[in-house]
Chain A
């Protein structure tokens, strides 16, 4: 079946068997696969050397994880205020606060109005 009705989306990726790149056997792809395998083998060798070292006492640190941690923490040097950034920041940072303020204020004003008119049932009210 050359065309499939399955459409990938941001929430469900394409299965490997339906991906045409899986069946690509050209020389470039083979070379890229060999390069990836070489990197993978080198990393595995480094890991196993450290893992099976009898003099090793502590944990093996994972440089990829350290880089990931560093990147996730030190985001401010790479930050630059752009229109999109500022808009998102305002929307998610200040928007909910203003929204909640308006809702709570409106609700409390309504209640206050009812209390002043004496319409609210305050028989079991403990606070004043």
Chain B
């Protein structure tokens, strides 16, 4: 009995040692369990206290999206900052995404990557930027419109062609005598 049990344990030991060489079905594909996945909006205070631990957050930082049926569930509402603003010199686990392993990811992370939307602070505030741009565009549009209404240019007269106003070149009859056109006054 003891020998059989030792033999059984002896068989188990090489299985535990080589954790990467397992037959199919003996190990799950992912180490996530169902309680680690997101769920519906937390309605109880216990749920509100337990959810941030699931998401690797502080309890003080956790703020779920408001529960108005807009599909967020209990996913945390992180501040809307793009990945451009994160410190480029810190040694991130994933430097291209500027993201750490296990860090709660923003719902709109795919929008805030460094290829896409950039919400870095502007040198002047957004209102001032927009006001400057639109006032310049409006002013230039107005001036061009006024210039179109009241054109100003050097005085011009009709063009004076040679050879009796190009009589032959304009396809008139060569046998007839053209009327002489005089472009000057004395």
Chain B residue numbers with a CB within 8 Å of A63 are 31-32, 36, 102
Can you offer 8 A-B residue contacts whose CB atoms are under 8 A? A8-B121, A12-B121, A32-B61, A35-B58, A40-B100, A46-B101, A67-B55, A79-B70
The answer to whether A43 and B73 have CB atoms under 8 Å apart is no
Chain B residue numbers with a CB within 8 Å of A82 are 68-70
The smallest C-beta distance from B66 to any residue of chain A, in angstroms, reads 11
Judge whether B38 is part of the interface by a CB distance below 8 angstroms: yes
Judge whether B6 is part of the interface by a CB distance below 8 angstroms: no
The winner among A7, A56, A71 for most chain B CB atoms within 10 A is A71
Judge whether A9 is part of the interface by a CB distance below 8 angstroms: yes
List B residues at the A interface (Cβ < 8 Å). 19-20, 30-32, 36-38, 40-41, 55-58, 60-61, 68-73, 75, 79-81, 85, 93, 100-105, 107, 109, 119-122, 124-129
Contact with B along A71-115 (1 / 0, CB 8 A): 110111111111011000000000000000000000000000000
The 9 closest A-B pairs by CB, nearest first: A80-B69, A75-B71, A43-B102, A9-B126, A47-B101, A78-B73, A15-B121, A71-B38, A68-B105
Chain B residue numbers with a CB within 8 Å of A75 are 71, 73
Q: B21: nearest residue on chain A (CB-CB)?
A: A57
CA gap between A8 and B109 in the complex, in Å:
20
The answer to whether A70 and B102 have CB atoms under 8 Å apart is no
Q: B121: nearest residue on chain A (CB-CB)?
A: A15
- Partner among A12, A58, A61 whose Cβ is within 8 Å of the Cβ of B125: A12
- Partner among A11, A78, A85 whose Cβ is within 8 Å of the Cβ of B126: A11
The answer to whether B102 and A46 have CB atoms under 8 Å apart is yes
CA gap between A76 and B56 in the complex, in Å:
25
Interface of B is mostly: loop
Chain B residue numbers with a CB within 8 Å of A44 are 93, 100-101
Judge whether A36 is part of the interface by a CB distance below 8 angstroms: yes
CA gap between A66 and B34 in the complex, in Å:
12
CA gap between A5 and B129 in the complex, in Å:
13
CA gap between A72 and B104 in the complex, in Å:
14
CA gap between A58 and B29 in the complex, in Å:
11
The smallest C-beta distance from A46 to any residue of chain B, in angstroms, reads 7
CA gap between A70 and B93 in the complex, in Å:
22
The answer to whether B40 and A68 have CB atoms under 8 Å apart is no
Q: A67: nearest residue on chain B (CB-CB)?
A: B38
Q: A57: nearest residue on chain B (CB-CB)?
A: B20
Q: B129: nearest residue on chain A (CB-CB)?
A: A12
Judge whether A1 is part of the interface by a CB distance below 8 angstroms: no
CA gap between A114 and B52 in the complex, in Å:
67
Q: Given A70-B38, A71-B38, A79-B71: A13 and B119 within 8 A (CB)?
A: yes
The smallest C-beta distance from A84 to any residue of chain B, in angstroms, reads 7
Chain B residue numbers with a CB within 8 Å of A62 are 101-102
The smallest C-beta distance from B80 to any residue of chain A, in angstroms, reads 7
Q: A72: nearest residue on chain B (CB-CB)?
A: B107
- Partner among A11, A76, A85 whose Cβ is within 8 Å of the Cβ of B119: A11
